[in-house]
Amino acid sequence: MNHLLTTEGLERETLENLLTDADEFAEVLTRPIPKVPALRGKTVATMFFEPSTRTRMSFEKAAKALSADTMSFSPGTSSLSKGESLKDTALTVHAMGVDLMVVRHGATGTPWRLAEWLDIPIVNGGDGAHQHPTQALLDCLTIKQRFGSLDGLEIAIVGDIKHSRVARSDMFAMATLGANVTLVAPPTLLPVDTTRWPAATSTDLDAVMEKMDVVYLLRVQTERGGGSVFPSLPEYTNRYGMTSARFARLKPDAVVMHPGPMNRGVEIGHDVADYERALVLQQVTNGVAARMAVLFALLGGDSDV
Ligand code: NCD
């Protein structure tokens, strides 16, 4: 593996090796000194051209837990506002001596461009509505810890599928690991053609949710136009929100997940997010371990991974 750009086409063995390493790093993070020297001397730069709380901080924590140094680029305070191009910005940061870049950008494909321009590993931290592979890894890790394996699990991904990079990354990774994935959304928030995707589709959450082991809720991506294709948010919640009444109808050991940021009261009930069977904060915790596994595989690790 030279880069981590997408989960589409990733081999099952690659995913499983990353999850095994992530599990070990999760243990490291519980130690009194949650740090190993694996990437001492390496520098990881986070280049986030779109807002982020979890993903950027989690990559920084992951890099530091592996003893790498971190650098962080923010567009608002950078020379982008003086007209510098993406390519010149990337070459400039690279010239300071960077061993790996994590990139988030609103334009689909940006991480692939960086991978062409620079001779260092690139990790996609989210490109437009396209891919967010480390989110998929941390989600699969969280499910694996809970259920032992993804094989044969019924997983619904619910909400703004059309504009969600999380849905795309998760669907490919989960299907490769043996889960049966159903994408659930209003017709206007489903992509026009999903026939090449390893997932079933439904427009009726109530009809499918009672057989689910995992119900994965998505935020409506208003910044990508997701809010303009249904009549109102209350109407969306009425049909697709995980209210406490819906939660009560799930299988007794079913869990609810969400990548954050949550809009409580819209896609997830105000109180549901705090239930023991809502794994939202475990997902965040696992994000650090999953990203450690990725950084380790790309910068210092075993070539099998
Ligand atoms: C997601 C993203 O940025 O794609 N957030 C995240 O990384 N945890 C989901 C979202 O913004 O809704």
Q: Report the number of distinct structural domains present in the chain.
A: 2
Q: Does any domain span residue 190?
A: yes
Whether 52 and 111 share a structural domain: yes
Whether 143 and 192 share a structural domain: yes
Whether 114 and 141 share a structural domain: no
Q: How far is the CA of 261 from the centre of ligand 1 (A)?
A: 6
Q: What is the pLDDT of residue 301?
A: 57
Q: Does any domain span residue 165?
A: yes
Q: Does any domain span residue 264?
A: yes
Catalytic annotation, residues: 54-55, 82, 104, 132
Q: Does any domain span residue 245?
A: yes
Whether 291 and 278 share a structural domain: no
Whether 234 and 263 share a structural domain: yes
Taking the chain, what is the end-to-end CA distance rounded to the nearest angstrom? 7
CA nearest to 100, candidates 304, 301, 305: 301
Q: Is the CB of 226 under 6 A from ligand 1?
A: no
Q: What is the pLDDT of residue 241?
A: 97
Q: Is the CB of 165 under 6 A from ligand 1?
A: yes
Q: Look up residue 187 and give its DSSP letter.
A: G
Q: Does any domain span residue 277?
A: yes
Full domain range(s) for residue 74: 12-130+287-299
CA nearest to 177, candidates 39, 63, 7, 30: 7
Q: How far is the CA of 234 from the centre of ligand 1 (A)?
A: 22
Q: What is the pLDDT of residue 305?
A: 42
Whether 119 and 145 share a structural domain: no
Question: Domain holding 221: CATH number?
Answer: 3.40.50.1370
Distance, in Å, from the CA atom of 182 to the CA atom of 108, rounded to the nearest integer, reads: 24
- Work out which ligand 1 atom sits closest to the CA atom of 219: 12
Q: 3-class SS at 214?
A: strand
Q: Is the CB of 135 under 6 A from ligand 1?
A: yes
- Which helix (H) or strand (E) element contains residue 125? strand 122-127
Q: Give per-10-residue mean pLDDT for the chain (305 aa).
A: 97 98 97 96 96 94 98 85 88 96 97 97 98 98 98 98 97 98 96 95 98 97 85 92 98 98 96 98 98 97 47
